[in-house]
Amino acid sequence: MSIWGGITGGLLGFVVLGPIGALVGSVIGSNLSSRSKRKRPNNFDKQVAFFTALFACLAKIAKADGRVDESEIKKIEEIISKKLNLNQEHRRFAINIFQKAKDDNISFESYASNLYQILSSSPNSLLVFYEILFELALADGLLHPKEELLLKKIPRIFNFENKVYQSLYDKYVDRNKNFYKVLEVKENSSFMEIKKAYLKKRKEFHPDTLIGKGLPEEFIQKAKEKFIEIQEAYEELEKRHQK
């Protein structure tokens, strides 16, 4: 079911009052028409709240380190086009929320707390929301201390156990760090340094090289697995440096 039944009212509220006004305005806009009200799904309010708070909090995460860089913009576009499948009209609305929220004086905690008040009965929805925030924070391959500070506030706001943060940290941050560990390079290494390390390791663990040395088959199999790991790490880091 679409969240867009009351988007016109939401846009009006957003322009006047900011992102939280978008939520209030969208609900009011939907109630102005009995026809709209009949068509509105029971969970309409929650859907609009999720959408508005999502892009407001994404804006705060993206701007946490002082600027919104190209990798973060690309991740926002990916969320809009692939995760939410928004059309042009709704895409513009989402971007308006993002642009307004990133520079307003409303805190990240306020947006997140507002969302919790509405979605407290749906912890799974809140968890999806939290994961999307992690994805954006890691869009450039690094977790900035100020981004990390905001992410650490979510368990308290959403009434999650602290282990939820650690679980997502392990999933997104440690996995990211592992790519650098595989190639034995630092996280701030240049792409040329990464490529040099990759080519060296690729040669060392290439199956053909090891077969020529007459090593046992069991060792060769492990080397093949390591070779694939090296290849995957390089391809992932190459993508990030091309952003």
Work out the number of other CB atoms within 10 angstroms of the CB of residue 82.
9
Q: What's the pLDDT score for residue 20?
A: 56
Question: How many residues appear in the chain?
Answer: 243
Q: What's the pLDDT score for residue 42?
A: 43
The letter for the amino acid at 35 is R
Picking from 140, 136, 138, 240, the residue whose alpha carbon sits closest to that of residue 194 is: 240
Judge whether 240 and 74 are in contact, CB under 8 Å. Answer: no
Burial of 209 by CB count in 10 Å (0-12 exposed, 13-18 middle, 19+ buried)?
middle
Walk along the chain (243 residues) and give the pLDDT tens digit of each residue. 344 444 444 443 433 334 455 544 543 444 433 344 444 444 444 566 667 778 889 999 999 988 898 889 988 998 888 877 777 877 877 787 788 788 887 889 988 987 787 778 878 878 888 988 999 998 887 889 999 999 999 999 999 987 899 888 887 887 766 788 888 888 888 999 999 999 988 887 777 776 665 656 656 676 787 888 889 889 888 887 775
Tokens of 186: 């630092």
Distance (Å, whole) CA 51 – CA 209: 53
Tokens of 199: 């080519």
**All structural domains of the chain with their residue ranges:** 4-172, 184-242
Picking from 182, 188, 186, the residue whose alpha carbon sits closest to that of residue 235 is: 182
Tokens of 40: 């509105």
Distance (Å, whole) CA 230 – CA 94: 38
